[in-house]
Chain A
Amino acid sequence: MDGIIDNDLIVARVRALIADAVRQPVAAIPLDVRVDGSELGIDSLGLIKLTVRIEETFDITMPDLAAPGAGPLGSVREVAALVAEQVAARQAGGAR
Chain B
Amino acid sequence: MNAIAHTRAEREANLRSAADQREHERQAVAAHYEHSPEIFSLVLDSRLAYATGVYADPGEDLETAQARKYARIAAKLDIRPGQRVLDIGCGWGSNLLYLAQHSEGVFHGITLSAQQREEALRRARAWGVAERVTIDVCHVEDLQLAPESFDAILFSGSIVHMHNRPAIHEWVGRTLKPGGRMLISDCYFPVQQRGDRDSAATEYIFVEALGYCRLIGLAEELQLIERAGLDILHVEDLTRHYAQTLAHWIDNVRRNRRTIEAIAPGFAAVLQQYMTVARMSFARRTALEYMILATKGAPTVDPGAWPIAQKGGRS
Contacts and interface: CB of A to CB of B under 8 A. Distances in A.
A56 B269 CA distance: 8
A45 B200 contact: yes
B200 A43 contact: yes
A28 interface: no
Contacts, number: 47
Interface residues of B, dominant DSSP: helix
Contacts of B269: 49, 52-53, 56
Contact of B280 (A43, A49, A52, A66): A66
A84 to B, nearest CB: 19
B257 interface: yes
A9 interface: no
Interface stretch (B104-112, B182-190, B216-224, B270-278): B270-278
A67 B244 CA distance: 10
B283 A52 contact: no
Nearest to A44: B201
A25 interface: no
Interface of B: 199-201, 204, 243, 247, 254, 257, 268-269, 272-273, 276-277, 279-280, 283-284
24 contacts: A43-B199, A43-B201, A44-B199, A44-B277, A44-B280, A45-B200, A45-B201, A45-B204, A45-B273, A45-B277, A48-B277, A49-B273, A53-B269, A56-B257, A56-B268, A56-B269, A61-B254, A64-B247, A65-B276, A65-B280, A66-B247, A66-B283, A66-B284, A67-B283
